[in-house]
Every structure is written in C-alpha cells, then in structure tokens.
A and B are shown apart, each in its own frame.
Chain A
Amino acid sequence: MNPVWRWFHQLGSPPYFYRFATRWMPWFGLSALVLSVIGLYLGMAKAPADYLQGDSFRIIYIHVPAAWMSMFIYVAMAVNGAIALIWRIKLSELLFLACAPIGAMFTAVTLITGMLWGKPTWGAYWVWDARLTSELVLLFLYFGVIGLASAYDDVRQGARAAAVLGLVGVVNVPIIHFSVKWWNTLHQGETIRIMGKSSIDSSMLWPLLIMALATKLYFVFALLLRARGMLLEQERNKQWVREVLSPPQIAGGRS
C-alpha cells in the first residue's frame, strides 16, 4: 500500500490519532504563537502607514487572515463532513465537529475587526458591502451547523446531520457570495493578489503572509485539541484510553 494512504488509515484509528495529536499539538501551537508575534510585530511596528488610510489599515493583519481562515475552515469542515458521510469514519465526524467552532471564531474576528476598520475608513461601523455581508451569512451557516449538531442527543447522529447541512452550505456559499456581490458592490477592489501585480508594498505584504501561515497553524492546533478531547470523551471506556493514560508516570508529565 502507498505509504501516504497507510498513514491516513492509521490516522483514522483512535489510539494512533490520540498519540499523533498529543505529540504534534505543542509544535503547531508554539509555531502559531511565535509566527503571530512576529507577524503582528512586523505589521504593527515595522510596516509603514498606508498613505490613504493611515495607521488603521494595520487592522488588516488580523482581519484578512481571519477572513481567509473563515472560508478555508468551512471548506475543510465540509470535506470532513463528506468523508464522515461516505466512509463513516468516526474520526472525520469529530474533526468535522471540531472545525465548526473554530471557523465561527474566525468569522466573528473577521466581522468585528472589519467593523472596527470600517469606522475610520468608511465612517460607519457597518456598511452593507458584499464581503462583510457574506461573512455575516457565513457566521450564521456556522451557527446552524453547531446548533444542529448539538440538538441531537446522539453525538454521531448529530455530526452526520450537521455534515449534510455543511455540504448544503458549501454548495451555497459561492452562490450567496455571488448574489450578495450582484446585489451590491461598494467595497474597494481586492487589494491582495499574491501572484502578479500587487498593489501593496512588500514590507506590508510579508506580515500578512506570516499571519496567514500563523492562523493556519493555529487552526491545526485548535482542531487537534478539540478533536482529541471529543475522542477521549467518546471512547472513555475503551481499553486504549486506559493504556494511554494509565501508567501516569510515563503518559503524564504534561496534562
């Protein structure tokens, strides 16, 4: 068997995943922390102020990576949901469930920082521009998934029902975005193009890319943390949990 495939199969087994998560989580968390400190320092202190917007543009170092993540996580969530529905892998259900609150958090960050950026830039906290409005809808799509999953008594049933909703949502997200754009375009043109001619200076771009990487690493960290917790809860009576936790002098040390 192809080693990559074998690794995926192994990852699907709860004890393997538990050990994998426990081993790698600190690295993801730590690198996310270090990178965001560097990114924010470069963005807040080193990058020059924008000649049009002044200092307030610095909010994009939080706003834009969070916005990217809000959409990326929705897709990641839907992919896990599809795997959970098709192959009924228990771990995918947990990863699916773990994605939703993290995605909702990033969407909330996007909205709040967008509003705080909007006041000095547009003169109002909320303007009905296409991207902000889509983000607001996205937040409610996340809430729908979280609400539906938690409404079921059985975790696995809830996860699968919410996965169907997630898939319906992922088909709808582009339609919603397009329709909202059709409805109103007031936003300034897209400023971030990584390839080709970019309208932003490289000293302003670097912190943004670092922050984008940091949020990705944070996502993996938070995902592993949440999925590991749910796995432990679900499998608390299994033998492997005893084995992983029981000689405390070996498995413990850090809890």
Chain B
Amino acid sequence: MLAWLESQGHWGFIHVSLAITLILVVADLLPPWLQQRKLKNELRARARREQHRTN
C-alpha cells in the first residue's frame, strides 16, 4: 500500500493527507453530535410524557 502511495508522486501524499484529515475531523465531530441528538430526543420525549401526565 505504501509502495502504491509512493508511486503516485507528490499529489498522492497531498490527497492522502486531505483524506485522513477529513476522516479525523468527522471522527471528532460525529460522535458527540449523534450522542447529543439522541440525548435531546430522549429528554424531549420525557418532557412530553410529563406534560401529558399533568394535562
């Protein structure tokens, strides 16, 4: 795999750099974002349930 990368010349290294950076950024943002969405939905559902009960 490394041999393939090295045969691509300079732009190969640049593209791999960009791709890995993009993957790491997504890996940095996605888990907290998904977790938060889940938590918010959960809390909203709970609030709705409580509202029903009081009504």
Contacts and interface: CB of A to CB of B under 8 A. Distances in A.
* Any A–B CB pair closer than 8 Å: yes
Interface of A: 40, 44, 54-56, 58-59, 62-63, 66, 101-102, 105, 108-109, 112-113, 116-117, 119-120, 218, 222, 225-226, 228-229, 232-233, 236, 241-242, 245-246, 248, 252, 255
Contacts of B35: 229
Q: Which 5 A-B pairs have the closest CB atoms?
A: A55-B10, A229-B36, A56-B10, A246-B47, A105-B28
Interface in B20-54: 20-21, 24-25, 27-29, 32-33, 35-37, 39-41, 43-44, 47-48, 50-51
A54 B13 CA distance: 12
Interface of A is mostly: helix
Given A108-B24, A109-B20, A119-B6, A56 B40 contact: no
Interface size class of B (residues with CB under 8 A): 20 to 34
19 contacts: A55-B9, A55-B11, A63-B17, A105-B25, A109-B21, A113-B20, A116-B17, A117-B13, A117-B17, A119-B6, A222-B28, A225-B29, A232-B40, A241-B43, A242-B43, A245-B43, A245-B47, A246-B44, A246-B47
A255 B14 contact: no
Contact of B43 (A101, A117, A236): A236
B14 A56 contact: yes
B22 to A, nearest CB: 10
A59 B32 contact: no
B48 A112 contact: no
A120 B17 CA distance: 13
A242 B39 contact: no
B10 to A, nearest CB: 4
B47 A242 contact: yes
Contacts of A56: 10, 13-14
A218 B29 CA distance: 10
A248 B41 CA distance: 10
A231 B5 CA distance: 43
Contacts of B17: 59, 62-63, 112-113, 116-117
A138 to B, nearest CB: 16
Nearest to B34: A229
B14 A58 contact: yes
Contact of A229 (B9, B32, B51): B32
